[in-house]
């Protein structure tokens, strides 16, 4: 909220300096009367599984070595959540997604996102990373992922994240690694 106030001092309709109202949960323009509220940007994050029930994880080049996570991306204007899941899967990894099921959400206020989590079923396509958002992606069986997490070959997101919840939702229980202090 503090960041939103700092970044939105003026009325977006007429340019006058606006004032905090409703205990700081909104801003009001003293000239044109417009009320302005903080935005929340929808972002989808998804555990994609194939017809062998393997899980797709990917990594970005700027992440720490061995870090892998679920695919994710922002919802675009006019797009349904399900279509955002399908577009991001195809754009980032070349995977065609069919069925999409909602699993839960997590506010991520850095600065203004709401992460919406899904389980998604791959319907085809070959993994082809775009090289921009993802530098690599692959499928894991439960046995492979348990082994790679235990040995440190794969570093999953911390337990506070919806990404970890989606991975463990697919896995069927907690995955133990050297970051158990986070749990």
Calpha distance 161→104 (Å, rounded) = 11
CB 13 within 8 A of CB 29: yes
Minimum distance between the CB of residue 1 and Zn ion, rounded to whole angstroms? Answer: 20
Number of C-beta neighbours around residue 54 at 10 A: 17
Under rule CB under 5 A, residue 134 binds Zn ion: no
Residue whose CB is less far from Zn ion, 9 or 158: 9
Query: Is residue 24 packed enough to be buried (19+ CB in 10 Å), middle (13-18) or exposed (0-12)?
Result: exposed
Under rule CB under 5 A, residue 13 binds Zn ion: yes
Q: Which stretch binds Zn ion (CB under 5 A): 31-39, 51-59, 118-126, 156-164?
A: 31-39
Minimum distance between the CB of residue 19 and Zn ion, rounded to whole angstroms? Answer: 11
Count of residues of this chain found to bind Zn ion when the rule CB under 5 A is applied: 8
| x/- letters, 33..72, toward Zn ion (CB under 5 A) | -x--------------------------------------
Under rule CB under 5 A, residue 27 binds Zn ion: no
Calpha distance 111→97 (Å, rounded) = 29
Phi-psi region of 104 (alpha: psi -120 to 50; beta: other; left: phi over 0): left
- Interface residues toward Zn ion, by CB under 5 A: 11, 13-14, 16, 29, 31-32, 34
């Amino acid at each position: 909220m503090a960041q939103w106030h700092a970044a939105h001092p003026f009325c977006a309709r007429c340019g006058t300096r606006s004032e905090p109202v409703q205990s700081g949960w909104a801003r009001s323009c003293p000239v044109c009367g417009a009320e302005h509220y903080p935005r929340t940007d929808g972002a989808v994050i998804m555990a994609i599984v194939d017809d062998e029930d393997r899980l797709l994880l990917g990594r970005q080049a700027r992440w720490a070595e061995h870090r892998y996570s679920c695919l994710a991306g922002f919802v675009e204007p006019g797009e349904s959540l399900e279509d955002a899941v399908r577009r991001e899967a195809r754009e980032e990894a070349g995977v065609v997604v069919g069925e999409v099921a909602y699993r839960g959400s997590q506010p991520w206020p850095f600065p203004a996102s709401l992460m919406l989590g899904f389980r998604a079923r791959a319907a085809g396509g070959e993994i082809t990373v775009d090289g921009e958002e993802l530098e690599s992606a692959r499928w894991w069986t439960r046995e492979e992922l348990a082994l790679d997490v235990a040995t440190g070959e794969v570093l999953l997101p911390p337990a506070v994240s919806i990404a970890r919840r989606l991975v463990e939702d697919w896995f069927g229980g907690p995955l133990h690694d050297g970051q158990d202090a986070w749990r």
